[in-house]
């Protein structure tokens, strides 16, 4: 079943002359983890804002979880979607962590008794319950993004959209956030749409869509996309380490395999190469 269906979408920003999207089509399956990549300005963020009804298309049709997106249905659609943005500092409204998670539930008029339960469950889920009474400013970037995720989990959405949500985090913070997303995707079958330049994040996806100039230029499994090596940087993805190493090995006169290798695969391949010596 498709949880998001975009048909013949046309959109441009008011101040611009060229179309950002022209007759654009995309289907996203329920429970899928889709990574959207592309260089800055390729239309990634515009696309997810259209799906969330933050921007309105000129023409075309967007359906989310069976609801056709219209000015009347936009709030129903948004209740299905949770969005995490790039900068963890721009997403706080509460004076402490617990209040912050409760904010969305209060807005959704959830009764207080249930609210308290949901806030606690959500914070436990992201391993931040022990910080419930902390001020957001005292948290690290990764902890802030986990609190932002808790705010979303508490609202029980069907789709989580990550708009470069891990790009400002240190490696530990990034891993902690991705771990939670993996659980939500695998255990609770939430649909994940992640906009990213990060290879580790994209490699979690089942499917990668490459956008350029508002068009889908590739739509494939991660391993196929990653095998493009150094040219990935042109489509907005940091090339995987194994591909960068391959290029340097070629410069050293060493013959390398064409297909994409993970880090482990690359070590195995080198081991075999050395064994043949």
Partner 1 sequence: MAMAIIFKAVNYMYQPNTPFEQQALENISVEIPTGSYTALIGHTGSGKSTFLQHLNGLLRPTSGVIQVGKQAITPETKNKQLGELRKHVGIVFQFPEAQLFEETVIKDIAFAPKNFGKSEEEAETIARRMAQQVGLDDELLSKSPFELSGGQMRRVAIAGILAMEPEILVLDEPTAGLDPQGRLEMMEMFKRLKEEQNLTVVLVTHQMDDVAKYADNVIVLEKGKLIASGTPSEIFAQPNWLVEHHLALPKAGEFALEFEKKTGYKFSTLPLTEVSLAQQIASLLHGGGVHHG
Note the residues at the interface with partner 1 (CB under 8 A). Answer: 39-41, 86-87, 139-141, 164, 167-172, 197, 232-234, 236-239, 241, 244-245, 247-249, 251-254, 263-264, 266-268, 270-271, 273-274, 277
Closest CB to partner 1 among 216 and 233?
233
Q: How far is the CB of 15 from partner 1 (least distance, A)?
A: 9
CB 207 within 8 A of CB 185: no
Report helix, strand or coil for 265. Answer: helix
Rounded distance, CA 151 to CA 104, Å? 7
Residue closer to partner 1, measured from CB, 58 or 268: 268
Q: Report the C-alpha gap between 65 and 43 in whole angstroms.
A: 23
Q: Which DSSP state fits 21?
A: E
Considering the complex, state which of residue 34 and residue 237 has its C-beta at the smaller distance from partner 1. 237
- Angle formed at CA 38 by CA 32 and CA 43, multiple of 5 degrees: 90
Q: Which helix (H) or strand (E) holds 168?
A: none
| Nearest residue (CB) to partner 1, 113 versus 251 | 251
How near is the Cβ of 106 to partner 1 at its closest, in Å? 29
- Kindly state the smallest distance separating residue 237's Cβ from partner 1, in Å: 6
Q: Are the beta carbons of 177 and 194 closer than 8 angstroms?
A: no
Write down the least CB distance from residue 46 to partner 1, Å.
Answer: 13
Which is nearer to partner 1, 113 or 276 (by Cβ)?
A: 276
Q: How far is CA 31 from each of CA 158, 184, 189, 191, 201, rounded to the nearest angstrom?
A: 9, 10, 5, 4, 17
In sign, the C-alpha dihedral spanning 43, 49, 53, 54 is negative
Output the 3-class SS for 91-133: CCCCCCHHHHHHHHHHHCCCCHHHHHHHHHHHHHHCCCHHHCC
Smallest separation (angstroms) from partner 1 to the CB of 233:
5
Nearer to partner 1, 59 or 252 (CB): 252
Q: How far is the CB of 264 from partner 1 (least distance, A)?
A: 8
Closest distance to partner 1 from the beta carbon of 118 (Å): 28
Nearer to partner 1 by Cβ, of 157 and 239: the residue is 239
């Amino acid at each position: 079943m498709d949880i998001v269906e975009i048909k013949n979408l046309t959109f441009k920003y008011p101040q611009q002359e060229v179309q950002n999207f022209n007759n654009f089509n995309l289907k996203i399956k329920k429970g899928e983890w889709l990574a959207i990549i592309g260089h800055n300005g390729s239309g990634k963020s515009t696309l997810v804002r259209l799906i969330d009804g933050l921007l309105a298309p000129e023409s075309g049709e967007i359906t989310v979880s069976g609801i056709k997106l219209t000015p009347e249905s936009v709030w129903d659609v948004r209740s299905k979607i949770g969005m995490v943005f790039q900068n963890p500092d721009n997403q706080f409204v509460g004076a402490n962590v617990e209040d912050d998670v409760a904010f969305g539930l209060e807005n959704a008029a959830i009764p207080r008794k249930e609210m308290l339960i949901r806030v606690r469950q959500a914070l436990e889920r992201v391993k931040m319950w022990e910080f419930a009474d902390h001020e957001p400013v005292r948290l690290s970037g990764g902890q802030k993004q986990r609190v932002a995720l808790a705010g979303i989990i508490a609202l029980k959405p069907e789709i989580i959209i990550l708009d470069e949500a891990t790009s400002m985090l240190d490696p530990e913070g990034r891993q902690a956030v991705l771990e939670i997303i993996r659980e939500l995707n695998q255990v609770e079958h939430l649909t994940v749409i992640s906009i990213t330049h990060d290879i580790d994040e994209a490699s979690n996806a089942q499917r990668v869509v490459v956008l350029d100039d508002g068009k889908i230029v590739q739509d494939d499994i991660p391993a196929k996309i990653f095998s493009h090596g150094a040219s990935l940087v042109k489509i907005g993805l940091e090339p995987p380490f194994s591909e960068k190493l391959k290029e340097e090995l070629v410069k050293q006169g060493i013959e390398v395999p064409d297909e994409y290798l993970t880090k482990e695969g690359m070590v195995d391949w080198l081991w075999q190469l050395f064994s043949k010596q």
